[in-house]
Amino acid sequence: MTPRACCLWVLAALTLLSGCSSVNYYSQLASGQLHLLKAREPIDRVINDPQRPATLRKQLAHAQAARTFASQHLLLPDNASYRLYADLKRPYVVWNVFATPEFSLDPITHCFPIAGCVAYRGYYSLAGARGEAALQREQHRDVFVSGVEAYSTLGWFDDPILNTMLNWGDERLASVIFHELAHQRVYVKDDTEFNESFANFVEQEGTRQWRAHQGLPPPDPRATQQREQFIGLVLQTRQALQTLYAQELPADTLRQRKAQTFERMRDQYRLLRDQHWAANTRFDPWINSPMNNAKLLPFGLYDQWVPAFAALFQQSGNDWQTFYAAVEHLAKLPLPARKTALRQLAAHAAA
């Protein structure tokens, strides 16, 4: 089977087996992925081409050093992923649409044969994502659309570095590579919180070690503390909303108290910003834009178990091989047992 035929077979299987949405949706998935695959070219060719922009060549050379570090030091998969480059001529590779019921933080999930069930729907065009968002709103759901710089095909294809990954500097690019390769290292079907929190921890710890490897000082502790406090505030708001939605109250009352909970989060954020962050406004655009349940979903999905994985890494003697073995053990547990183990690790980290 040729590589192209293999790609088509996998995408066709994804289309035929998933059968829980329209043919149009799966058609755009297939065409979007194939366009991405066709746009790939070896990074070495780009770096050695004097006709390509010097800034691009420098970025890709730095990325290749980080890619080598990922396999040699973080023990992430050593394959052709992120040894290729693709320019998609757009700011994001996909746009994810998150949706929840009006009075719930449980995501509307979508299931696929390879990736399992995930808490969003991805579109290769902003127009497609906005169309899906409009359909979800018609069903009186909370909706949030988020642009995505990169995603992992979990080793099914050789994932390239994308132009969408180059906008935030060399360190951010290295971080994204670590994150996406982590998905290739360990991935559990139907458990987005586990997968994203694990990849987020690998990204954060990997970036810390990458800085040390380059002889750079650790990240500014104030920035790290601000980010952790901000995420903590959002997760605290999620918990407050979950408590609210568990009450049997009239819809109008729930709607009013939901709005009050979001305003309380904004007030607490401004207090943090003005009294403890020297008026650092980097989170202002997010906090001041329209708020709903779906907008909080990525925080619960991407950050909920990061402290648990940090505790597990410490228990593993800060040894990556031991850590991955422990993560793989967790991954094999039934979902209730896995969540119990993660809660115990998170409690240990808090203590």
Mean pLDDT of 25-35: 91
267: its two tokens? 């007030």
| pLDDT (tens digit per residue) in 305-341 | 999 999 999 999 999 999 999 999 999 999 999 999 9
Helix, strand or coil, per DSSP, at residue 96: strand
Q: How far apart are CA 158 and CA 57, in angstroms?
A: 20
In sequence order, the 6+-apart residues with CB closer than 8 A to the CB of 199 are: 179, 180, 182, 183
Q: Which of 168, 229, 174, 163 is nearest to 203 (CA)?
A: 174
| pLDDT (tens digit per residue) in 268-308 | 999 999 999 988 999 999 999 999 999 999 886 677 899 99
> Other CB atoms closer than 10 Å to residue 133's CB: what's the count?
21
Helix, strand or coil, per DSSP, at residue 122: strand
CA 290 to chain centre: 21
> Per-residue pLDDT for 129 more than 60?
yes
Mean pLDDT of 136-144: 97
- Determine phi and psi for 135, rounding to 5 degrees: -65, -40
Contact 284, 317 (CB under 8 A): no
Mean pLDDT of 256-272: 98
Sign of CA dihedral 206, 313, 184, 234: negative
Q: Which of 63, 49, 25 is nearest to 160 (CA)?
A: 63
Give, in degrees to the nearest 5, the angle at Cα 274 between 273 and 277. 50
DSSP 145: E
Q: How confident is the model at residue 113 (pLDDT cuts 50, 70, 90)?
A: low
- Determine phi and psi for 191, rounding to 5 degrees: -140, 75
Q: Which of 76, 41, 75 is nearest to 60 (CA)?
A: 41
Whats the size of the chain, residue-wise? 351
Structure confidence at residue 96 (pLDDT): 95
Q: How confident is the model at residue 18 (pLDDT cuts 50, 70, 90)?
A: very low
242: its two tokens? 């979950």
298: its two tokens? 């990525």
Mean pLDDT of 35-54: 96
Helix, strand or coil, per DSSP, at residue 75: coil
Q: 161-162 and 116-118: which strand pairing?
A: unpaired
Mean pLDDT of 155-177: 92
Q: 84-86 and 41-42: which strand pairing?
A: antiparallel
Q: How far apart are CA 118 and CA 108, in angstroms?
A: 9
Q: How confident is the model at residue 131 (pLDDT cuts 50, 70, 90)?
A: very high
Structure confidence at residue 14 (pLDDT): 43
> Per-residue pLDDT for 17 more than 60?
no
Helix, strand or coil, per DSSP, at residue 95: strand
Q: How far apart are CA 234 and CA 287, in angstroms?
A: 10
68: its two tokens? 């080598």
Q: How confident is the model at residue 114 (pLDDT cuts 50, 70, 90)?
A: low
Q: How far apart are CA 38 and CA 331, in angstroms?
A: 34
Q: Which of 306, 326, 330 is nearest to 316 (CA)?
A: 326
> Other CB atoms closer than 10 Å to residue 266's CB: what's the count?
14
pLDDT above 90 coverage of the chain, percent:
76
Contact 296, 230 (CB under 8 A): no
pLDDT above 70 coverage of the chain, percent:
92
Q: Write down the pTM of the prediction.
A: 0.82
Q: Which of 101, 105, 109, 67 is nearest to 84 (CA)?
A: 67
In sequence order, the 6+-apart residues with CB closer than 8 A to the CB of 237 are: 261, 262, 264, 265, 296
Helix, strand or coil, per DSSP, at residue 162: strand
Q: How far apart are CA 261 and CA 94, in angstroms?
A: 31
> Per-residue pLDDT for 3 more than 80?
no
